Structure 1
Amino acid sequence: MYPNAYIEYLLHFHTDRDYFECHEILEEHWKNDEKKQVWVALIQIAVALYHHRRGNVLGAKRMMQKAIALVEQEKEAIEQLGLDYAELLPLLKRYIEQIDKGERYESICLPIADETLMQTCQTICKQRRLVWGNKSDLDNEFLLHKHALRDRSDVLAARKEKKKKGMPNS
């Protein structure tokens, strides 16, 4: 019923809190799904949390504001993804208030309204020995700074190959 990329996004968002991976997974899906804006909204939520956790308060606030604007525009699509729009919007607005008050990063859970979706996620968690609702590991440097620390050799090699062939980078 739901795309695998979305399930994987939810799993990373709620277990290991790998927001960078959330971004990567949904960005790839977005490119292949008519670039629907609902995916951008979910990506922006993850990116906002990634920024806030790293101490980039301005980036976090700006990204969360963009996410809120898209969530408001994409109410029907949000609900079709099994999320509770009536809970999600206030949750995101409260998060901006926390940022404005100078409060530290705090893990959040997206309000899932579809029980079947929640059961699917819980089943996968059990199979993979993951814990749903885990708090973010603030001592995990790789998780905190993944954008700078990840291995990008495959991306760089692909760009080099395209350049050889005279193709533009994507």
Structure 2
Amino acid sequence: MGYPVQYLQFIEKFNEGEFYECHDLLEDIWMEDKTDKFLQGMLQLSVGLYHLEYGNLKGARWMFGNARKYLSRYGPVHWGLDVEEVLRYIEDCEAVLPDRDAIPYAEAKAMTFPSLRLHVDTSC
């Protein structure tokens, strides 16, 4: 399957930890079909990670919950991506979030959170 260039760039930027850019890349193709809940889920995952980076734990929690809700209907694999692995990653991130709405930026940067390296199987 030939995937949109923005999707492949999203995977690359995600793996580089460029979550704001991830949002911009997927938003371009999601705007063409707002019923695509897979793209919306991946968008919300990247926004959640962006919030997490800056200490907005309430926003991260909200986005992770939405991402999980949308992505759960696409497993085990969709668009060459192991959705089950992504869902486990979301759960791992949620499990280590401090029980607060926000933390200072410096504290957020110093925290260790789970990591995930996305891979797209282009033979799907």
Per the normalisation by structure 2, the TM-score is 0.78
Aligned partner of 2:14: which letter? F
Give the Å deviation of 1:56.
Answer: 0.4
> Take 2:75 and 2:19, find their aligned partners in 1: how far apart are those partners?
22
User: RMSD across aligned C-alpha pairs, in angstroms?
Assistant: 2.3
Contact 2:93–2:114 (8 Å) recurs in 1 = no
Q: Deviations over 1:47-95 (max 9, x none)?
A: 000000000011101110110111112326xx23112233221221111
- What amino acid is the match of 1:81? W
The structure in which a higher percent of residues are helix is 1
Can you give the 5+ residue segments of structure 2 that lack an aligned partner in the other structure? Answer: 101-107
Change (3 A) 1:105 1:20: farther
**2:73 equivalent in structure 1:** 73
In the alignment, does 2:97 pair up with 1:99?
Answer: yes
Write the distance in 1 (CA, Å) between the matches of 2:59 and 2:70: 17
State whether residues 11 and 119 of structure 2, in contact with CA within 8 Å, keep that contact through their aligned partners in structure 1.
no
Contact residue 48 and residue 61 of structure 2 kept, 8 A:
yes
Kindly tell me the number of residue pairs found equivalent between the two proteins.
113
In structure 1, the gaps of 5 or more residues are: 118-170
Task: Tell me the distance in 1 between the aligned counterparts of 2:120 and 2:6.
Answer: 19
- Which residue is equivalent to 1:108? 115
The 4+ residue runs of structure 1 with deviation greater than 3 A are 100-103
The answer for the alignment partner of 1:46 in structure 2 is: 46
Q: State the identity as a percent.
A: 26
> Does 1 or 2 have the higher relative contact order (CA < 8 Å, sep 6+)?
2
The structure whose Rg is larger is 1
Q: Secondary structure at the match of 1:106?
A: coil
